[in-house]
Structure 1
Amino acid sequence: MIGDEKYVTSGGLRLWTERFGDRDDPGVLLVMGTSAQAIGWPDELVARLVHSGRQVVRFDHRDTGLSDCVDFTANPYTLADMTADTLAVLDGHGIDRAHVVGVSLGGAIGQWLAVHHRARVQTLTAIMTSPMGNNAGPAWARAIAGRPAAPDELPPPAPRFLRHVVESAHAPRATPEQRIDADLRTWRVLNGEALPFDEPAARRFVERSHQRAHDPAAAGNHDLAGRQFTEERLAPLSSITAPTLVIHGSEDPIFATAHAEALAAQVPGARLHVIDGMGHNLFSPGLPERIADLVADHTATR
């Protein structure tokens, strides 16, 4: 698919955006997850939404793709700053209210918007994510150390994924081919073992991501930003008024289904849709279209 490319400005940073569909149609803003570029939203998903009568905007977060990179040591940022970027994208495209669709970290950004900028969020769809105030760090640390989870915390990632995280830290990345292979292994693990993994699609995404990135290493700053838990991030989700759909996979290796259940329980009137076998990516044949249909249905009458 070929969209209308445009740069918008957020606090002095230039962010790359791409818009599809008729400007008069309701706007859907797609917010990608940690370290992932806008092209992580498959063209099949975008095309399906456009065909359903939606204007679709996707964008590269700061430190990814064609957007500007940040010296995180000199200018650290938090989820609040990434949310401000998201608002700048809406402003840059003249969209007052949008159907916000976020995946993983993008789902947390969507929650932040729905809590602190209610007037801008027509509906919220949170995909494969967790409540924005959930600090998963201690659970990860305990699991990696082989200790049991605390009784009051949401489940840690699956053992297979945690093993991959440890092994991946020592994987060779001296050449472009090695970096691509390492990223591809991560997406394969994230897919889980239930649904088929579309390796050619994942490889195209990884290769194109490396080609587009100003600085591939800068995307790691998202992890640092995501670890910051400010007072605003801990605000109760019970204040969300936007109709909310939570989409989650039964085989998500990062966020067990309990994370989605907790999120849906905290947002008034939220609906939870669990996709059997889905992991923590969109690289399975037919899955992008299935997600698009759920979003189209959720946004159809609102």
Structure 2
Amino acid sequence: MTERFAHIGRGVTLAYDQLDSGGVPLVLVGGLGQQIHDWPDGLCELLAARGYEVIRFDNRDAGASTHGDFPPPGPVDFLRKRWHRDQYDLTDLAADTVGMLDALELPSAHLVGMSMGGMIAQTVAARYPSRVDSLTSIMSTTGAARVGRPAWSTWRLMFSRPARDRAEHIDHTVRMYRHISSTGYPFDEPAVRVAAATTWDRDPASAAGVGRQLAGILKSGDRTGELRAVTTPTLILHGDRDLMVAPTGAAATARAIPGARLHTLPGMGHDLPAAAWPTLADLIHDHIRTSEARSTDAPHP
């Protein structure tokens, strides 16, 4: 897949790639600090084999996409919820996603988002319903105060000193993923190291972008009321061992979105282990097939 760039307006350019199978478009929306490659090639290939044109992209402030030119909040700013005047929120990131659809001349697409990407995809479905043929929200939440929160041990890792060089970044990523990964599946440290190295090489200043993205999530607050307006067929996927976004976030999302279906994956944490890719691809594909009344161009088995 060749990396390309979409100029979506408002001074934002997004890096993306696509696996063009000639099928219907399926857009993958990444999570906090994640980049294109955090949607694993193997999972993308499984989705393409099921008849989808798979599109993945770097959100703003990640990878090769446009980065903010203002400082991220410090710890005290986060505690006081004191944001820079230029701080964006999830509605801006949702508008970026719609801008990507516009740049690719796609009237609509199936959206699959994980973690923060699930929040973005939810917001697109709430605010731009005609652009979303189906919604799959993976390991995400509503922003409500008492649900979907990281474990305290995870917060400590999140707010540890930023890496000063490539080697520190790789080691820090391994520590984080060893903590939040799927306990029911093997931990693939070599793959985590390769992905972390790619992240650093594409965006050595990623820590500042992560800070601004996290501020965007917190600035957005509780979106439960907005989610009640979602009419898009919705599937909620979540692992029962998630230490980054507690499973209560999935339950709250399923309650908020009318008709949403919740599927819990035993042993899965806050990652996409290779052994789970076939299951995830099947669940996404089956959900889209059942949404054919809303998305008449969905592929058939």
TM-score band, normalised by shorter chain: 0.7 to 0.9
Name 2:265's counterpart in structure 1: 275
Name 1:20's counterpart in structure 2: 19
Q: Does 1:91 align with 2:102?
A: yes
Give secondary structure in 2 for the equivalent of 1:228: helix
Q: How far apart, CA to CA, are the structure 1 residues paired with 2:161 and 2:68?
A: 26
Count of equivalent residues: 277
Deviation string 1:128-168 (CA, Å, 9 cap, x unpaired) is 0111x424xxxxxxxxxxxxxxxxx22643344345446xx
- Asked if 1 retains the 8 angstrom alpha-carbon contact of 2:19 and 2:48, the reply is yes
Name 2:78's counterpart in structure 1: none
Name 2:77's counterpart in structure 1: none
Give secondary structure in 1 for the equivalent of 2:220: coil
Q: How far apart, CA to CA, are the structure 1 residues paired with 2:208 and 2:161?
A: 19
Name 2:253's counterpart in structure 1: 263
**1:106 maps to which of 94, 117, 130:** 117
Name 1:154's counterpart in structure 2: 147
Shift of 1:192: 4.3
Are the structure 2 counterparts of residues 234 and 247 from structure 1 closer, same or farther at C-alpha, using a change threshold of 3 Å? closer
Q: How far apart, CA to CA, are the structure 2 residues paired with 1:230 and 1:255?
A: 15
**1:181-192 alignment, distance < 5 Å:** 181-192=171-182
- Asked if 2 retains the 8 angstrom alpha-carbon contact of 1:44 and 1:289, the reply is no
Are the structure 2 counterparts of residues 3 and 297 from structure 1 closer, same or farther at C-alpha, using a change threshold of 3 Å? farther
Shift of 1:190: 1.3
- Asked if 2 retains the 8 angstrom alpha-carbon contact of 1:69 and 1:215, the reply is no
Name 2:63's counterpart in structure 1: 65
Shift of 1:177: 0.7
Q: How far apart, CA to CA, are the structure 2 residues paired with 1:53 and 1:4?
A: 21
Match for 1:287: what amino acid? A
Are the structure 2 counterparts of residues 218 and 82 from structure 1 closer, same or farther at C-alpha, using a change threshold of 3 Å? same
Match for 1:200: what amino acid? P
Name 1:147's counterpart in structure 2: none
Q: Does 1:291 align with 2:250?
A: no
Are the structure 2 counterparts of residues 300 and 216 from structure 1 closer, same or farther at C-alpha, using a change threshold of 3 Å? same
- Structure 1: which 5+ residue stretches go unaligned? 136-152
Q: How far apart, CA to CA, are the structure 2 residues paired with 1:252 and 1:85?
A: 28
Match for 1:66: what amino acid? A
RMSD (CA atoms): 2.0
Are the structure 2 counterparts of residues 57 and 285 from structure 1 closer, same or farther at C-alpha, using a change threshold of 3 Å? closer
Match for 1:276: what amino acid? P
Match for 1:92: what amino acid? A
Q: Does 1:134 align with 2:144?
A: yes
Identity %: 34
Name 1:122's counterpart in structure 2: 133
- Asked if 2 retains the 8 angstrom alpha-carbon contact of 1:102 and 1:109, the reply is yes
- Asked if 1 retains the 8 angstrom alpha-carbon contact of 2:181 and 2:187, the reply is yes
Give secondary structure in 1 for the equivalent of 2:274: coil
Q: How far apart, CA to CA, are the structure 2 residues paired with 1:218 and 1:157?
A: 20
Q: How far apart, CA to CA, are the structure 2 residues paired with 1:10 and 1:297?
A: 35
- Asked if 2 retains the 8 angstrom alpha-carbon contact of 1:42 and 1:288, the reply is no
Name 1:31's counterpart in structure 2: 29
Shift of 1:94: 1.2
The alignment's TM-score, normalised by the length of structure 1, stands at 0.85
Give secondary structure in 2 for the equivalent of 1:35: coil
**1:176 maps to which of 148, 152, 166:** 166
- Structure 2: which 5+ residue stretches go unaligned? 72-84, 293-301
- Asked if 2 retains the 8 angstrom alpha-carbon contact of 1:69 and 1:218, the reply is no
**1:223 maps to which of 192, 199, 214:** 214
